[in-house]
Amino acid sequence: MAAREQVAVQEEQVPARAEWEPRVIAFLCNWCSYAGADLAGVSRIQYPPNIRIIRVPCSGRVNPLFIIKSLQQGADGVLVSGCHPGDCHYISGNYYARRRFALLKSVLEYVGVEPGRVHFSWVSAAEGVKFSQVVTDVVESVRALGPARTLVRAELRSRKA
């Protein structure tokens, strides 16, 4: 009955910007990107601590629904990173992933999720520096957009970071 009220609810209750830190979920493939993140760590490279890493065997394992569910559950941004094309540990997982992610990113932006929330990268095990740059990029891009406000569930919207 309250079909028209629902849309109005979306505008309520955004947390104060000053207190908020972006929360970015990062799906990293075990063989390349996760190792690249580890290399960044042992090299003592500083980068924003706002990412929460989920290790997956391959970027091809990442179901687009993981990304959508992350956004719905309150992630302000999502990063998926895998091996460079041609270097996939499972030969072709990242090729399939590439097509899937292209369509996912495209449709999310089409319905109004801000470009700059969902990111994809190829980071190899040797690219510690690149990993830190990617994360810095992603976090700053999300910070500029503010807390998640499109797909996030209404009752999660008002939480403080």
Tokens matching residue 105: 């990113």
Dihedral sign of CA atoms 147, 149, 153, 159 in order: positive
- The whole-angstrom separation of Cα 40 and Cα 3 is 49
Three-class SS state of 34:
helix
| Pick 20 or 149: Cβ nearer another protein | 149
The identity of residue 26, as a single letter, is A
Min separation Cβ 7 and another protein, Å: 5
Residues that bind another protein (CB under 8 A): 1-7, 9-10, 64-65, 68-69, 72, 85-86, 92, 95-96, 98-115, 119-122, 134, 137, 150-155
Q: Between vectors from CA 112 to CA 106 and to CA 150, what angle results, nearest 5°?
A: 120
Q: Which is nearer to another protein, 21 or 84 (CB)?
A: 84
- Residue pair 47/128 in contact (Cβ under 8 Å)? The answer is no
- Least distance to another protein, CB of residue 88, Å: 11
Considering the complex, state which of residue 22 and residue 94 has its C-beta at the smaller distance from another protein: 94
User: Of 10 and 43, which has the nearer Cβ to another protein?
Assistant: 10
Q: What are the C-alpha distances in Å from 143 to residues 19, 50, 139, 147?
A: 12, 10, 6, 8
* Interatomic CA distance for residues 117 and 106, integer angstroms: 12
Q: How far is the CB of 66 from another protein (least distance, A)?
A: 10
Residue 45 vs 68, nearer CB to another protein: 68
Q: At closest approach, how far in Å is the CB of 13 from another protein?
A: 14
Q: How far is the CB of 134 from another protein (least distance, A)?
A: 6
